[in-house]
Amino acid sequence: MQPLAERLRPTSLDNYIGQQHLVGPNGPLRKMIDGGRISSFILWGPPGVGKTTLAKIISHQLDVPFYTLSAVTSGVKDVREVIQQAKNNRFFNQMNPILFIDEIHRFSKSQQDSLLGAVEQGVVTLIGATTENPSFEVIRPLLSRCQLYVLKSLEQEDLIRLVHHALDTDHILKVRKVELKESEAILRFSGGDARKLLNILELIVTSSPEEPVLITNEKVTNLLQQNPQAYDKGGELHYDIISAFIKSIRGSDPDGAIYWLARMVEGGEDPKFIARRLVISASEDIGLANPNALLIANACFDTIQKIGWPEGRIPLAQATIYLATSPKSNSAYMAINEAQALVKETGNLPVPLHLRNAPTKLMKDLGYGNEYKYSHNYDSNFAKQDYLPSEIKNKRIWQPQNNSAESRHKEWLQHLWGDKYTK
């Protein structure tokens, strides 16, 4: 028997729930479909928000051949075979067949290269789906030939609507008397993921012999604690576990961090996904307290790409423990946030004349670069002058935190600047 999520998969936009910014009356995908012609695009969003469903709906409504590949199981040979099949089955004046590639971020560079010609020549219209930022994993030539659409986690109203739709229309569930008495727990555990929500709903109903079936917070929580994998088929705790992993590193708990790393390794997580999060954590959570953390994280990322699985788990473990046991600082993260907020607040303030470049005589005559002090001509390679626009010249942005590395930076700045860095 098909899972509930498959039984309820919509076949038209009329019963597609969520993503109104894309498929609503003025949404770009709705306009393309209504116009009867689409261009290649990539759908980026978390699991269970309707990426595959949307691709199938588009194919169905446009009545064009639909080919699908999974980046997990397909190689270059499979890609070329599908492209050749699309060429052979294409009729004169017919719209391009759609080639849907799930988890396109897992395709290697050579696999993505094999798609370029077919997409560029219009042999196929590519629809890719990814849970990862395409800027990191999709090659630039392919990305430049595709529109990018971002899908959002479903809102609570969407999820409640989906529950009622399932109870009213599914041929198995509608014969049971089911009452959604409390929704907080089922919404919390689903995390905006429609597939996870329907898996939980099906689990509750099929494991409850009584009539009516009352869905309560207590029942949902107890059932999922007893059956943690029942609603997590295929690694759907992806975002929850990476969150626990990063928070364990941030919290300086190497035992917690290595446990969540093991959970991801055993669950078949993409090692590059883990390594990328380590690089981010090294800057966001450790930063200037231990600049070597970023070097270690980057070295781990490079090593993963060279050796792959299963040995890749070892440098991941090494980097994880190093980051978890490092002193922590988010002063660089806070500083760029503060600076961006300041730019939005103050707008495009003019660059002070002494900091401007003067490549022409006219610019020199206008005072560009005048009175600039070249730091290396002065003692300690430092000359006191203003580097911010005059309107905000006394604004402090970076605030050093209480750790040995940043304390040394602060002391040096106080030596150079005096009162400016004493606050």
Q: What is the pLDDT of residue 160?
A: 92
Q: Which residues contact 46 (CB under 8 A, 6 or more apart)?
A: 131, 151, 153, 192, 193, 239
- Per-residue confidence (pLDDT) for residue 275, from 0 to 100: 93
pLDDT for 285? 93
Q: Which residue has the higher pLDDT, 236 or 349?
A: 349
pLDDT at 92: 55
Tell which residue, 205, 274, 204, 201, has the closest CA to residue 235. Answer: 274
User: Please, which pLDDT band fits residue 226 given cuts at 50, 70 and 90?
Assistant: low
Q: What are the DSSP calls for 88-130, one per residue?
A: HTPPTTPPPPEEEEETGGGS-HHHHHHHHHHHHTTS-EEEEEE
Inform me whether the pLDDT recorded for 233 exceeds 50: no
Domains defined for the chain, CATH in brackets: 19-150 (3.40.50.300), 156-226 (1.10.8), 238-325 (1.20.272.10), 351-421 (no CATH)
Look at 4-8, 110-114, 357-361, 406-410 and tell me which has the smallest mean pLDDT: 357-361
Give me the pLDDT at residue 410, please. Answer: 85
More confident residue, 233 or 345: 345
Residue 365 has pLDDT above 80, yes or no: no
The per-residue pLDDT for 423 is: 63
Model confidence at 43, pLDDT cuts 50, 70, 90, reads very high
Tens of pLDDT, residues 236-255: 456 678 888 999 999 888 89
pLDDT bracket for residue 351 (50, 70, 90): confident
What per-residue confidence (pLDDT) applies to 282?
A: 94
What are the DSSP calls for 162-222, one per residue?
HHHHHHHH-TTGGGS-EEE---HHHHHHHTT-HHHHHHHHHHHHHT--SSSEEE-HHHHHH
Res. 315 pLDDT band, cuts 50 70 90: very high
Q: Could you tell me which of 157, 3, 125 has the C-alpha nearest to residue 59?
A: 125
Q: Work out the number of other CB atoms within 10 angstroms of the CB of residue 115.
A: 28
Q: Taking 90 as the threshold, does the pLDDT of residue 42 lie above it?
A: yes
Mean pLDDT score, 334-341: 89
d(CA 225, CA 171): 28
Residue 359, preceding bond cis, omega within 30 degrees?
A: no
CB 375 within 8 A of CB 364: no
Q: Is 145 helix (H, G, I), strand (E, B) or coil?
A: coil
Looking at the predicted structure, is the pLDDT value of residue 228 above 60? no
Tell me the average pLDDT across 115-133: 87
Provide the pLDDT for residue 319: 95
Whether residue 93 is predicted with pLDDT greater than 60 in this model: the reply is: no
- What's the pTM value of the predicted model, to 2 decimals? 0.57
Per-residue burial over 175-204, b = 16 or more CB atoms within 10 Å of its CB, e = otherwise: eeebeeeebebbbebbbbbbbbbbbbbbbb
pLDDT tens sequence across 175-218: 888 888 888 888 888 878 888 889 899 989 888 888 888 899 88
Check residue 234 and give its pLDDT: 42
Decide which of 83 and 295 is more confident: 295
